[in-house]
Amino acid sequence: MKIPAGHQHPLSTMIAEINSIFAEIGFVFAEGPEAELEKYNFDRLNVPKDHPSRDMQDTFYFKPTDAQEPMVLRTHTSPVQARFMETNKPPIRVIVPGKVFRNEATDATHEAQFHQLEGLYVDRGVHMGHLKGTIEYFFSKFFAGDVEVRFRPSFFPFVEPGVEIDMMLRGSESKLANRWIEIMGAGMVHPHVLRDAGIDPEEFSGFAFGMGIDRLAVMKYGIDDIRNLYSGDLRFVSQF
Amino acid sequence: MKILHSWLKDYMGDATPSVQEVERIMTFSAFEIDGIEPVGVADAVIDIKILPNRSSDCLCHRGIARELSTLTGTPLSHDPFSLTPIMPETDRLVISIENGEYCRHFDLALVTGITVGPSPEWLASRLEALGQRSINNIVDATNYVMFALGQPLHAYDADKFKKDENNAWHFGVRMAKVGEAIDTLGGVRYELDPSIQLIVNGADDSPAGIAGIKGGQYAIVDAETKNIILEAGNFDPVVTRKASQKLKLSTDASKRFENNVASKVVPYALTEVVALIIKIAGGNVEGFAHARPKTMENTAVTIKKRNAEALLGISLQTETIEGIFTGLGFGYAKKDDGVFEVTAPFERTDILIEEDVIEEIGRIIGYDKVTSVMPETVPLTHINVRHYYSEKVRACLLQLGFSEVITSSFRAKDEVQLQNALASDKSYLRSTLATNLLEVLAKNTPFTDLLGMPDTRIFEIGTVFSKTDAGVVEHVALAFGVRTKVAGYTPKDDALLASVVTEVATCLGVPLHETITQGVAEVQFTNLYLSLPLPLAYEAVSKALPISYVPFSVYPAMSRDIALWVPEGTSAEAIESILNPSAGPLRVRTTLFDEFTKDGRTSFAFRLVFQAGERTLTDGEVNTVMETVYEAVSKKGWEVR
């Protein structure tokens, strides 16, 4: 009997699709280590030591004896922003899909490991309208429909202003359509983050955004328990 | 932060927006709303998610009212911060502060002749609405003013607080000593160290409270208390935060100090609590004392209209900007054309740079004013080599019948241990993918019939971690494994695997240098892809098909084979159209696994797989289903072999 083709994991399918959508407008697929220096995960993102903004993310630390500098399992893909800006000059357009970790209890909607998508665009004259336009472009392609986004005020230490982004898919048959869905955090890159990476905030500005790819999978495919994404169970994977 | 809607009326009067309006205004211009709970018929508690940058001024009702006042354009009808606190001094209260950076303000008030008793109904019910237990009128008054103005307060029984040789009450603020300990309110004892700041009795140096975190048992107010000393301090955020983390003691007070509540709130809160206590517990204020080594002052921030426009992507009128500053209560001076010097009111300790001011303008003018602009399309300048070759390997393995898994990066035991894992089964990081794949293979072998696969084939591409002399290092690994038998590994698996290794090596054009363990091959993929030619462009991504996931049954599946003779030329589909309906709703899959023709007849062999969503099937019930299938087949005149 001929072997039927195997099934690709939905996260891989989504990452490939995300990459192709952003590649069309010149966003480079960048990446960085999962075992990250605390410096890049926090300090260089304007999250100082002993500041309450560190409480926003529960962090796994490596043992001090195992690392020359304090090291964490990255809590977000944002450290790649700092790394990329350090070694590249604007204009910068990158996306960073990758695995991240949070030291918290797991349930059907929370995992201690999940995938995030980071986006960063730094150039002369970048403003919040570009953020809105880029996100609308992405979701319109990703959900194959007409997507509108809106901003609400929020706070992330590495951006200023910071916003929460909601999206609405219009005129589609999808269960997601015609209602606002909270989808990601974003904002204009904080001048301290630019400056610390060697970019002059007087000359350049940029936007950054971050969202959970697992959550996108839940929305796109109707997955009921995100732990299935990491269970290795073929009864799950075989549906994709 | 829980906000009682009716409480806002103290500051906003008739201009208080309705609960629904508060929700709408907050959501789109300030904060997310975590929930709304009705209180009685006409009131509600609104749970507002105050983010770190506004926790200095908005963890209180006055702060939220001030925010609503800005956003609705109506001034507060009563602003506690607009009155000048009147604080006649008394020399019976003495304060000494060891480190003026760590304790920035420390104000005291002496109130005599009070009567401790239950709080009046209005006060108790407001606290209870916020989930606070009413204790007595004195303690409740201190809590009440904290929830009103954001300043933590503490009350001491003056008669239990030992006086010094001059018959004065002497308060000290100093770092704890090695080996020192304190019994706090509620009776819990904390061991201290010199990083933790204390309030002490200056007469005998005994600890009276953990500065900015929790009061001690010392001089506790009880039913017999007649004379009290009220304390309002302001403590360094970092010192408070470190102590709170070290003691694992997070309180309403520590949360506020960690977020840098303004030192200038101190006199307002202290006079407010004194007035409230005299109102509800009687007594007279004897006088105040203060020590203010460091008063926090907001510095002016320069903001340029064109910078605001450039960041927000909105064009702004000078008058609009000035109107926003006025609404916020920001002092401003117009410099050159379109340049302002802006100073936030003292309680806003978060306005430090131009971008902070631009954010205020953006959220108040409304982010709905931002119009979408597509960045100009530019060509892609770089191809991600890891992604490119991962995709290549995926395509190759998928076509060979391998399914992709993503397994946990955590293991119960391995090489690299984390310092602070929550669960013992995830305190190490994986050093290989193979160990995970061996487990995943074992878990999946029983599902071959259910999934219609002749055997089990999986692969993963992911990061693994190991220890070297230089510390923890990571690389991307590729692993793939097979199981030909449900029972587990057999040497036959290795033979199959060897052919797959060859195929994958052919796909990539280089040898894999794989390590093989019991039917699983692992490859150091980082080294491998770095040795491969740089790709010039990504392969096209095929349009993903719309998929709707269906939760799978966790109960075991059961298989039955049926082989039958049919006249030559009968199609497999025609047979399935008889088999499947007769097998009923428990049938989840039909797989054709054998077919041959002889003497004008064709033999087909099918495997029928049964499974229920909510229970384990019994042999008996599957046998009954099969009887129905046999019946249907014989009605067609087909012979079951």
Q: How confident is the model at residue B187 (pLDDT cuts 50, 70, 90)?
A: confident
Lowest mean pLDDT among B148-152, B257-261, B635-639: B635-639
**Which positions in chain A touch B458 (Cβ < 8 Å)?**
232, 234
Flag whether pLDDT at B427 surpasses 70: yes
Q: B interface mutation test: which of A189, A235, A236 has the most B CBs within 10 A?
A: A235
Average pLDDT of the segment spanning A62-74: 93
Q: Is A161 on the interface with B (CB under 8 A)?
A: yes
- CA distance linking residue A148 with residue A152, whole number of Å: 14
Q: pLDDT digits over B544-596, tens only?
A: 678 889 889 889 999 999 999 999 989 999 999 999 999 999 999 999 989 99
**Which positions in chain B touch A25 (Cβ < 8 Å)?**
374-375, 377-378
Q: Could you tell me which chain B residue has the CA closest to the CA of A16?
A: B541
Higher-confidence residue of B604 and A109: namely B604
Please report, rounded to a whole number, the percentage of residues in chain B having pLDDT higher than 90.
90
Average pLDDT of the segment spanning B17-24: 97
Average pLDDT of the segment spanning B422-442: 92
Measured in angstroms, the CA of A141 and the nearest CA of chain B are apart by: 11
Who among A3, A67, A137 is closest to B471 (CB)?
A: A67
Q: A interface mutation test: which of B32, B373, B475 has the most A CBs within 10 A?
A: B373
Average pLDDT of the segment spanning B45-57: 95
Flag whether pLDDT at B516 surpasses 80: yes
Collect all residues with Cβ–Cβ distance below 8 Å to B283 and sequence separation of at least 6: B111, B112, B113, B114, B115, B227, B228, B277
Mean pLDDT, all residues of chain A:
93
Q: Could you tell me which chain A residue has the CA closest to the CA of B397?
A: A6
- pLDDT given for residue B337 in this prediction: 85
| Secondary structure letter of residue A42 according to DSSP | T
**Which positions in chain A touch B541 (Cβ < 8 Å)?**
16-17, 19-20
**Which positions in chain B touch A77 (Cβ < 8 Å)?**
none
ipTM of the assembly? 0.96
Flag whether pLDDT at A1 surpasses 60: no
Q: Is B462 on the interface with A (CB under 8 A)?
A: yes
Q: Which residues of chain A from 195 to 224 reach within 8 Å of chain B, CB to CB? A: 205, 221-224
For every residue of B564-588, DSSP letters joined together read EEEETT--HHHHHHHHHHHH-TTEE
Q: pLDDT digits over A116-170, tens only?
A: 999 999 999 999 999 999 999 999 999 988 999 999 999 999 999 999 999 999 8
| Contact in structure between B364 and A11 (CB atoms under 8 Å) | no
- CA distance linking residue B285 with residue A17, whole number of Å: 71
Mean pLDDT, all residues of chain B:
95
Q: Is B445 on the interface with A (CB under 8 A)?
A: no
Q: pLDDT digits over B306-360, tens only?
A: 999 999 999 999 999 999 999 999 999 999 889 999 999 999 999 999 999 999 9
Average pLDDT of the segment spanning B510-517: 95
Average pLDDT of the segment spanning B478-489: 95
Flag whether pLDDT at B380 surpasses 80: yes
Q: Could you tell me which chain B residue has the CA closest to the CA of A125?
A: B310
| Contact in structure between A156 and A77 (CB atoms under 8 Å) | no
Query: Do B404 and A128 make contact, defined as CB atoms within 8 angstroms?
Result: no
Beta bridge partner(s), residue B94 = B170
Paired tokens of B128: 């209870």
Please report, rounded to a whole number, the percentage of residues in chain B having pLDDT higher than 70.
100
Query: Do A35 and B474 make contact, defined as CB atoms within 8 angstroms?
Result: yes
Q: Is B398 on the interface with A (CB under 8 A)?
A: yes
- pLDDT given for residue A105 in this prediction: 85
Q: pLDDT digits over A161-209, tens only?
A: 999 999 999 877 778 888 999 999 999 999 999 999 999 999 999 999 9
Beta bridge partner(s), residue B46 = B3, B36
Flag whether pLDDT at A57 surpasses 80: no
Q: Is B275 on the interface with A (CB under 8 A)?
A: no
Query: Do A221 and B593 make contact, defined as CB atoms within 8 angstroms?
Result: no
Query: What sign does the CA torsion over B230, B236, B240, B241 have?
Result: positive
Q: pLDDT digits over B264-311, tens only?
A: 999 999 999 999 999 999 999 999 999 999 999 999 999 999 999 999
Please report the beta strands in chain A, taking only residues with DSSP state E, as ranges in sequence order.
28-29, 35-37, 71-73, 92-101, 113-123, 146-154, 159-170, 181-189, 205-212
| Contact in structure between A75 and A57 (CB atoms under 8 Å) | yes
Paired tokens of B586: 């428990």
Q: Is A60 on the interface with B (CB under 8 A)?
A: yes
- pLDDT given for residue B488 in this prediction: 92
How far is CA B267 from its chain centroid?
Answer: 35
- pLDDT given for residue A106 in this prediction: 87
Paired tokens of B335: 């410099």
- CA distance linking residue B497 with residue B475, whole number of Å: 23
| Contact in structure between B503 and B396 (CB atoms under 8 Å) | yes
| Secondary structure letter of residue B425 according to DSSP | G
Q: Could you tell me which chain A residue has the CA closest to the CA of B450?
A: A235
**Which positions in chain A touch B304 (Cβ < 8 Å)?**
none
Q: Which residues of chain A from 106 to 145 reach within 8 Å of chain B, CB to CB? A: 112-113, 121, 123, 125-130, 132-134, 136-137
pTM score? 0.91
Please report, for chain B, how many H helices and E strands are present, in that order: 18, 29
Q: pLDDT digits over B117-144, tens only?
A: 999 999 999 999 999 999 999 999 999 9
Q: How confident is the model at residue B421 (pLDDT cuts 50, 70, 90)?
A: confident
Average pLDDT of the segment spanning B218-225: 96
Measured in angstroms, the CA of B336 and the nearest CA of chain A are apart by: 19
Query: Do A152 and B550 make contact, defined as CB atoms within 8 angstroms?
Result: no
- pLDDT given for residue B144 in this prediction: 98
Secondary structure (3-state) at B253: helix
**Which positions in chain A touch B382 (Cβ < 8 Å)?**
28-29
Q: Is B69 on the interface with A (CB under 8 A)?
A: no
Paired tokens of B89: 């001094």
- pLDDT given for residue B462 in this prediction: 98
Q: Could you tell me which chain B residue has the CA closest to the CA of A23?
A: B380
Q: Is A20 on the interface with B (CB under 8 A)?
A: yes
**Which positions in chain A touch B258 (Cβ < 8 Å)?**
52
Query: Which residue in the block uniquely carries the two structure tokens 């990255």?
Result: A74
What is chain B's alpha carbon radius of gyration, rounded to the nearest angstrom? 37
Flag whether pLDDT at B186 surpasses 90: no
- CA distance linking residue A129 with residue A121, whole number of Å: 12
Query: Do A12 and B404 make contact, defined as CB atoms within 8 angstroms?
Result: yes
- pLDDT given for residue A98 in this prediction: 97
Measured in angstroms, the CA of B431 and the nearest CA of chain A are apart by: 13
Q: Could you tell me which chain B residue has the CA closest to the CA of A154?
A: B31
Please report, rounded to a whole number, the percentage of residues in chain A having pLDDT higher than 90.
83
Is residue B10 packed enough to be buried (19+ CB in 10 Å), middle (13-18) or exposed (0-12)? middle
Paired tokens of B401: 């019948």
Paired tokens of A28: 């480079």
Between CA A62 and CA A73, with CA A68 as vertex, the angle to 5 degrees is 30
Flag whether pLDDT at B83 surpasses 90: no
